[in-house]
Structure formats: structure tokens, C-alpha cells
A and B are shown apart, each in its own frame.
Chain A
Amino acid sequence: MTDVAKRVIDAGLNLLDRQIIDKDGMMSGNVDDLELTVPEEGGPPVITAILAGPGALARRLGARSGAWLESLHVRLHPSEQPGPARIAFGVVKRVADHVEITVSRSDLDVSRFEKWVRKHVIGKIPGARA
């Protein structure tokens, strides 16, 4: 168990702003925020998800740049009221220097912009797949 994650952490120091690595070893965003859920039966909150991408980062940047980033996120996102991209803590494999997860980044909502850039810009340049 010590392998997976430390038993006691300060989330700001040990979890926030760390790099997320997917099951293929690819960088998949940063831990921009955490979702805490207070259990139905009461008691202290538990970390239930990692929030990543502009929707999550915006709130931490404070007034102006945050609002700008948030509006950009809302405008570019297909759904009406998009929340931040959410990665359930259940898919976390390891918390160390990096946060490793057991799914592929292509299945994550946080990769939306990346996919767009790949499809419409970078993928169209010769040699992009070599």
C-alpha cells in the first residue's frame, strides 16, 4: 500500500499542481483542483475526483485572468453548462511525484482541446505522425 500513495498528505503540497500521467505514460494535464465530497452519512469530506483543465484552473487564477479563461472554456465547450473536466479518484493508480491514472488520456474530457489541435492543425502538417 505504501507503494500507491503516502498515508498522510497535505493536499496543497503533495497533490495540487502535479502532473497527471495516463496509462500509456502520456502527460494528461495537471491536478488543477480537487473535488471533495462530504459522505451522505456525514463525517469529514473525502477526495472523490481530480479536476483538470481550464474549467478548473480558472477559479484559482483569481479575478480577471480566471474569468477570461472560464469564459473561453464555456465558449469552446459543446455542452450548455460545462463543469471542469473530472477524473474520478477511483482511476488513480499512484500518487507520487506524478499522479498516475489507469485510463488513457484520450478517454478524458480534459483532452478536448488537444484532440481539436491534433485534428485541425498539427495532424495536417506532413511528418506529424512520424
Chain B
Amino acid sequence: MRKVLEVSLETLAAIGGFVDIGDIVANSETGARFRMSLAWGGVLGVIGIVLYAEMSGRVATLSHRPVFDLVRERLGARVALVNLVASFFINFLTLTAEIAGVAVTLQLASGINYLAWIPLVALMVWFTMWRVKFSVMEKVYGLLGLALIVTVVAVFRLHEFHTIVREATNLHRPSTEDWPTYFYFAIALFGAAMTPYEVFFFSSGAVEEGWTRKDLMVNRANVYIGFPLGGALSLAIMAGAALLLAPRGISVDHLSQAAIPVTFVLGKLGLGILIFGMGIAFFGAALETGLSGGYIVSQFFGWQWEKFVKPVDAPRFHLVILVSVILAAAFGLTTVDPVKVTEYSIVLSAAALPLTYFPILIIANDPEYMGDKTNSKFSNALGFFYLVLLTAIAIATIPLMIITKAGA
């Protein structure tokens, strides 16, 4: 009974923990511009992250080794360094976006400019990583993040479910947009769901919490149930934008506009819950990205990284985190547009993934690490398909970014 409770608690936390600023921005923007015609991009991304998060959790559980450790071992020091630099940079952009995002939600609630909130948010993010226990931290923001269910409620209250489903299943490009832009936004949605930090954080967490074979069930429940339901929250945001913003020609350039649909349908209470849910979700993602930066650098160099040891016993890990948070806050304070930072971070995310996912796929096939828990034929077929897809995306992203002037 207790195990069941633990599983359901963790799974619920996985739903709330899934959404971050990238999902909100990408889904609002595409819903407003493309209605539901790009829903497949998000779905493809969610299936991909489910597949690779489960694999990385299983690999971490059985080999006791987190993802970046394996990246270094299998790709060698030089290629791993390239991956480290790219992943760390994208992760840093995401951290900046999440910290600024929390500050914007505080602005929406208080009216006080977000720039004034950034230092305070950064301090709280750092302090949480410094002091709060891993398992507590992960569950609290995951469960509170469930407030984002208001987006689903709002969509249901509009009673346009059949419209959404019809549009989402009818693959077409709106006549007002050209093909490069259409695919550029598909990549954005894909990258928003498949951010690299998710597997870094997920696998390092599995090692930190000392997962064993018994926990593989929790791993599966989190990933197979939690992530798709988290993805459903993202789709609800897209649907709200498609139903209420697209007809009025509103394009989403600010987080405040992303909140319009829920406000329209559910009023003050809905708006309050949404702002709270977004703030918590971004805060949680700021923790995940902040820690991920420390994880990958430490794992590349072999430094002590676990959060459960005292900070003095993992000083370099905590130094990386401290410096990243300070730099992210400083970058946010330059008045750089948080929505723009988010857009770049998710699009580049998609491009940087192959070098991280390739080693996971190989180790998941190695009985020397995995014993009898190697990949099934099905996960291998799907895993290979995604690797090809990710490689194609990695090649196409930068040219598309130039052709479409970053989706303008």
C-alpha cells in the first residue's frame, strides 16, 4: 500500500514537473499561429522523451552511472567535450529563461517589474539547491505544479473538443505560413518536450536516490504515465491559444498573453491558479537546469557531484551551480527578452540531442551493464528511429533558423 502511494505521488509529481517555460512558450505561440496543425510536433517530442527518459533511468539504475558519465566513456574525451560545451550552453539559456520566467509570473501577480524580482528568484533557486533534500524538492514542485491543470479545465469549458481533435488529426499547413516556418515551429515544439536537461536530471536523480531493480517500476510509472499527462497539459495550452488567440490574430510575444485563454474562460481564480502553477513549474525547472549544469560538468571531469553529500564534500559541483545561477541572473537582468531566450533554448535543444542520446541507446543494449534488462526490439526500433530523426533535425535546425529569421 505504501509503495502504491509512493508510486502515485511520484507519478503525480512527474506530471507537474514535466512542464516548463519552453512548453508554455512553444505551445502558446504555435497554437496562436498554427492552431492545432502542429500538435503532432509536441506528440512526437513527448514520445521521444518518454522513450529516452525511461532508457536513461533504467541505465542509471542498473549501471549506477548517470548519462554524462556514459557520454564521456563511449564518445571519448574530445567528442564528449563538444557535447559538454553545447549542452551546458543550452542548459544555461534554459536556466536564464526559467529564472526570468518565475520573475515574470511574480510581475503578473504583483505588478512590480520582473527585473526587480530576478535577484530574489535567483537567490531562492540557489538556496533550494544548496539546502533542500533532493526527494523533497522534486516532489514539492512537481505536486504544486499540478495547478497547471487549469489549462485543461479551461479547454474543456470551451466545449470545442471536437474542433481541437479534428484540427490536430488533420495534418496540414495553414495557407498563411510557409513550409520552412512550419517545420521550424515543429522543431521548437519537439525541442520543448525533449530538452536535454531532462535526461541529465532524471538519470542523475536515479543515481542520487540509489535506485535499484525494485525502483524500475516507479521509473516506468513516472515516465509512461507522468510524462504523457504532462504533455497533455502542454497540448491544452496549445488548444486554448488555438481556440481563443488565433481567431483574433493575437501572436504570443509575452508570457502574459499566454494566460489570456485561461483568464477569459475561468476568470480571476483561474488566472491566479495559472500564474501560481507557471511560477512553480518554472521554479522547478530552474532547479533541474541549475543542478543539471553541475551534474554534467562534474560527470565529465569525474568530480564528486551528488547532492546528498555535504556541499564541502562536493565543492566543485556546488561552485558550478553557484556560478551558473549568478551568470543566469546577470544575463536575465540585461533586459534580454525571456520569451526570446526560451525560443532559442528549445530550438537549439533539439539540435544538440543526438550526442547525448546515442550513448544511452548503446549502453541500454549492453548486457554487461544491463543484465537481462537490455532494450526490447520495440524500444530499439523506436530508439533508432528517433536517433535518425534527431540527427536530421540537428542538421536542419540552423539553416531553418536562418531561412525563417528564427520563425518571424
Tell me if chains A and B make direct contact, with any CB pair below 8 A: yes
Q: B interface, by DSSP: helix, strand, loop or mixed?
A: helix
- Asked if A30 contacts B302 (CB within 8 A), the reply is yes
- B312 touches which of A30, A32, A61, A129 (Cβ 8 Å): A129
- Asked if A125 contacts B316 (CB within 8 A), the reply is no
User: Which residues from B are CB-within-8-Å of A17?
Assistant: 72-73, 76-77, 80
Q: How far is the CA of A130 from the CA of B131 in the complex (A)?
A: 9
**Interface contacts beyond A28-B304, A30-B300, A129-B312: sample of 20 additional A-B pairs, CB < 8 Å, sorted by A:** A17-B73, A19-B302, A26-B304, A27-B298, A27-B302, A27-B306, A30-B72, A32-B302, A57-B77, A60-B76, A65-B81, A114-B303, A122-B311, A122-B312, A122-B318, A123-B315, A125-B130, A125-B311, A127-B130, A128-B311
Q: How far is the CA of A129 from the CA of B73 in the complex (A)?
A: 32
Q: Which residue of B lies closest to A20 (CB)?
A: B302
- A117 touches which of B72, B300, B301, B315 (Cβ 8 Å): B315
Q: How far is the CA of A97 from the CA of B59 in the complex (A)?
A: 12
Annotate A52-81 by CB proximity to B: 1 below 8 A, 0 otherwise. Answer: 100001001110010000000000000000
- Asked if A52 contacts B302 (CB within 8 A), the reply is yes
Give the interface size bracket for A toward B.
Answer: 20 to 34
Annotate A84-109 by CB proximity to B: 1 below 8 A, 0 otherwise. Answer: 00000000000001000000000000
Q: How far is the CA of A27 from the CA of B80 in the complex (A)?
A: 19
A-B contact count (CB 8 A): 81
Annotate A33-67 by CB proximity to B: 1 below 8 A, 0 otherwise. Answer: 00000000000000000001000010011100100
Q: Which residue of A lies closest to B85 (CB)?
A: A65
Q: How far is the CA of A32 from the CA of B72 in the complex (A)?
A: 10
- Asked whether any CB of chain A lies closer than 8 Å to the CB of B69, the reply is yes
Which residues of B are at the interface with A, using a C-beta cutoff of 8 A? 63-65, 69, 72-73, 76-78, 80-81, 130-131, 298, 300-306, 309-313, 315-316, 318-319, 322, 369
Q: How far is the CA of A20 from the CA of B69 in the complex (A)?
A: 11
Which of B63, B76, B302, B318 is packed against the most chain A CB atoms within 10 Å?
B302
Whether A28 contacts B302 in the complex (CB less than 8 A), given A65-B81, A97-B65, A97-B369, comes out as yes
- Asked whether any CB of chain B lies closer than 8 Å to the CB of A18, the reply is yes
- Asked if A123 contacts B302 (CB within 8 A), the reply is no
- Asked if A19 contacts B311 (CB within 8 A), the reply is no
Q: Which residue of A lies closest to B72 (CB)?
A: A17
Whether A30 contacts B311 in the complex (CB less than 8 A), given A17-B76, A97-B63, comes out as no
Which of B76, B77, B319 is packed against the most chain A CB atoms within 10 Å?
B77
User: Which residues from B are CB-within-8-Å of A20?
Assistant: 302
Which of A60, A97, A130 is packed against the most chain B CB atoms within 10 Å?
A97
Q: How far is the CA of A18 from the CA of B305 in the complex (A)?
A: 15
- A113 touches which of B69, B304, B316 (Cβ 8 Å): B316
Identify the 9 closest CB pairs spanning chains A and B, nearest first.
Answer: A30-B302, A122-B315, A118-B315, A27-B304, A117-B315, A29-B302, A128-B311, A60-B77, A17-B73
User: Which residues from A are CB-within-8-Å of B298?
Assistant: 27
Q: How far is the CA of A57 from the CA of B77 in the complex (A)?
A: 8
State how many angstroms separate the Cβ of A54 from the closest Cβ of chain B.
8
Q: How far is the CA of A90 from the CA of B369 in the complex (A)?
A: 26
User: Which residues from A are CB-within-8-Å of B130?
Assistant: 125, 127
- Asked if B303 contacts A60 (CB within 8 A), the reply is no
Q: How far is the CA of A123 from the CA of B314 in the complex (A)?
A: 10
Q: Which residue of A lies closest to B65 (CB)?
A: A97
State how many angstroms separate the Cβ of B237 from the closest Cβ of chain A.
38
- Asked if A61 contacts B302 (CB within 8 A), the reply is no
User: Which residues from B are CB-within-8-Å of A57?
Assistant: 77, 301
User: Which residues from B are CB-within-8-Å of A1?
Assistant: none
